[in-house]
Amino acid sequence: MKKTICSILAVTCVCASAFAQTPSPLNLDGKSYPCINPDKSVTFKFTAPDASSVTVDCGKSYQMVKDANGVWTATTDPMIEGFHYYSYKVGGISFTDPNAYTFYGTGRDCSALEVPETAEKADYYTPKKDVPQGAVRSLRFYSKACGEYRRMYVYTPAGYDENQKQRYPVLYLQHGGGEDERGWIYQGHADVILDNLIAEGKAEPMIVVMNNGYAKHPGSTDSFDAFEEMITEEVIPLVDKRFRTIADCDHRAVAGLSWGAKQAYDLALGYPQYFSYVSGFSGIIVIGE
Amino acid sequence: MKKTICSILAVTCVCASAFAQTPSPLNLDGKSYPCINPDKSVTFKFTAPDASSVTVDCGKSYQMVKDANGVWTATTDPMIEGFHYYSYKVGGISFTDPNAYTFYGTGRDCSALEVPETAEKADYYTPKKDVPQGAVRSLRFYSKACGEYRRMYVYTPAGYDENQKQRYPVLYLQHGGGEDERGWIYQGHADVILDNLIAEGKAEPMIVVMNNGYAKHPGSTDSFDAFEEMITEEVIPLVDKRFRTIADCDHRAVAGLSWGAKQAYDLALGYPQYFSYVSGFSGIIVIGE
């Protein structure tokens, strides 16, 4: 009898697991699709009775199939865990999913889905009740180099407001190509990761400054030609004035992702009087012209 | 001769004015459409050679017309100055414009355009170099009432970091239906308006707290049933702990737009021990059940 119960339980578990679908955590509240299947494939579904052909592109392109009710469906191959941009395509137009949040990536506001990791693997970027939380500030500033008002994001660690005597080192952190100053916070959970690392004693409390890397002189066709001038002549003095930084090159680092890594190398190697540390993730180095 | 030159100049000016089109300020960098015409009508244009029918909805719906190159165009009636949500529709699907920034409104991330006002009329929400600027902080917090991590935005006025002894009154400010905690900053420029008002001496320096009004108990089907509990039992204590507030009801106000106005009235009238001031913009009052 005991064996039978065990067998039934085992079968029940297998079935439950086989049919367990989870809506992507980046869906709007109450929206079921896209959903993640147990094998980490993703099922997309939405209603568009008048469309004649729909594809979904999430790194690979999939033709969707319409049922009698005008509902289009596609299921992908198993996907890598984590964050993915995606878009639908109808009539030659690429567009975002009305059922999911968008994030600025691929040079536009773009739909995204999350293939969840195990709790253990996601631990480092999961907010926790027992971890003191910092804050992210959005600051507008006028850039003479670019001839426009711009926005930067600044992470200050937990305790920044309370410990009024404490000064902090600063990390300048740049997003990848097609993203902007929001990327490290909204896509990358940089604030949560830092809260967790600092609470564990794995990172020193620091200020993190995130700017839009697309910074050009007025009228220029080079999207980046004002970036270094803006950071060194405008952003660093402003941050050192507005925040309790340790304002010397020994306490100033720069890092970035992809194109942002290239910008980080250029800043660190070109302006050693400002930066003593540099790091690049999936970086690009451009040699020569 | 002089008269001729004057006439030519006059004709040139008329022509220049008649054909002066301005890309919406909410377009992505370098994108020409939607553009605003001198009569404040808006022209939408984009390429979709494979689509069979496209409409654009910006309050009123307009059928777009395709040319031989597959470019769809529509021009609206003259529109009211200011911020407008819009969407395209193809094959029964409503979608955002890949050429413009999106804003969380209408219950989803939605395209928006701006019909510019005169510099004089836009003065109060235009950032200015000679006006000291505050900052907007994004804070994550765990809400027991909602059983989830949530985000709030907090505006602190210019001088908040420098004047460590000063304490400030607090305004709790709620967005309209279909928007979220970002609406007052990203669509409404609340931070710039406050910077300008405070600099002119027309508003007292204050802290402004913006929360997502969609706040429900875990598993509830009522999108708002945890809102008042969350604000009074969780948000207010957290704000009074984290910021240099004057933590009494005489220095605490609540206001909101549309559905947010209803929430503001409910808070002020239901919890007079917390709030001494209330304001509603385009408000809703629900009488009875």
Optimal mutation site among B28, B103, B125, B140, interface A, most CBs of chain A within 10 A: B140
Residue that is written with structure tokens 């908040």 in the block: B160
- Helix residue ranges, H only, chain A: 2-19, 119-122, 183-186, 190-199, 227-229, 236-242, 259-270
CA–CA separation, B62 and A98 (whole Å): 20
The pLDDT of residue A184 is 97
DSSP state letter for A35? E
CA–CA separation, A180 and A175 (whole Å): 6
A275 in the same domain as A137 = yes
The residue count of chain A comes to: 289
B282 Cα to chain A: minimum distance (Å): 26
pLDDT tens figures, B246-289: 999 999 999 999 999 999 999 999 999 999 999 999 987 777 66
- Nearest alpha carbon to residue A27 among A9, A47, A46: A46
Backbone angles phi, psi at A22, to 5 degrees: -120, 125
The tally of domains found in chain B comes to 2
A170 in the same domain as A30 = no
Q: Is residue A140 in a domain?
A: yes
Residues with Cβ < 8 Å from B188, sequence gap 6 or more?
Answer: none
A91 contacts on B by Cβ (under 8 Å): 48, 50-52, 54, 90-91
Q: Is residue B242 in a domain?
A: yes
B109 in the same domain as B55 = yes
CB A98 within 8 A of CB B95: yes
Residues with Cβ < 8 Å from B92, sequence gap 6 or more?
Answer: A47, A48, A49, A50, A51, A70
The pLDDT of residue B18 is 45
Cβ atoms within 10 Å, residue A126: 15
A80 in the same domain as A165 = no
CB B114 within 8 A of CB B121: no
A191 in the same domain as A272 = yes
Kindly state the greatest CA–CA separation across chain A.
81
- The last residue of one of the domains, among B68, B87, B116, is B116
CB B61 within 8 A of CB B94: no
Q: Is residue A49 in a domain?
A: yes
- Counting residues of chain B whose pLDDT is more than 90, the rounded percentage is 78
The pair of three-digit structure tokens given for residue A164, joined into one six-digit string: 């009024």
Out of A46-50, A62-66, A258-262, B216-220, pick the least confident. A46-50
For residue A150, give the chain B residue with the closest CA. B127
- The last residue of one of the domains, among A91, A116, A141, is A116
Res B243 pLDDT > 60: yes
- Nearest alpha carbon to residue A25 among A16, A36, A40: A36
Q: Which domain holds residue A105?
A: 21-116
CA–CA separation, A29 and B215 (whole Å): 11
- The last residue of one of the domains, among B116, B150, B177, is B116
B241 in the same domain as B162 = yes
Cβ atoms within 10 Å, residue A123: 11
B208 in the same domain as B184 = yes
Q: Is residue B228 in a domain?
A: yes
- Nearest alpha carbon to residue A27 among A78, A100, A116: A100
Q: First-to-last CA distance in chain B? A: 78
Q: Is residue A77 in a domain?
A: yes
CB within 8 Å of chain B, chain A residues 222-261: 223, 242-243
A193 in the same domain as A50 = no
pLDDT tens figures, A90-145: 877 888 998 999 999 989 999 999 999 999 999 999 998 889 999 999 888 999 99
Stronger pLDDT, B128 or A91, i.e. the higher one: B128
B139 in the same domain as B82 = no
B208 in the same domain as B65 = no
B222 in the same domain as B155 = yes
pLDDT tens figures, B87-118: 998 877 888 998 999 999 989 999 999 999 99
DSSP state letter for B168? B
pLDDT tens figures, A176-220: 999 999 999 999 999 999 999 999 999 999 999 999 999 999 999
**B34 upstream amide cis, omega within 30 of 0:** yes
The pLDDT of residue A19 is 53
Residue that is written with structure tokens 């304001």 in the block: B279
B223 in the same domain as B187 = yes
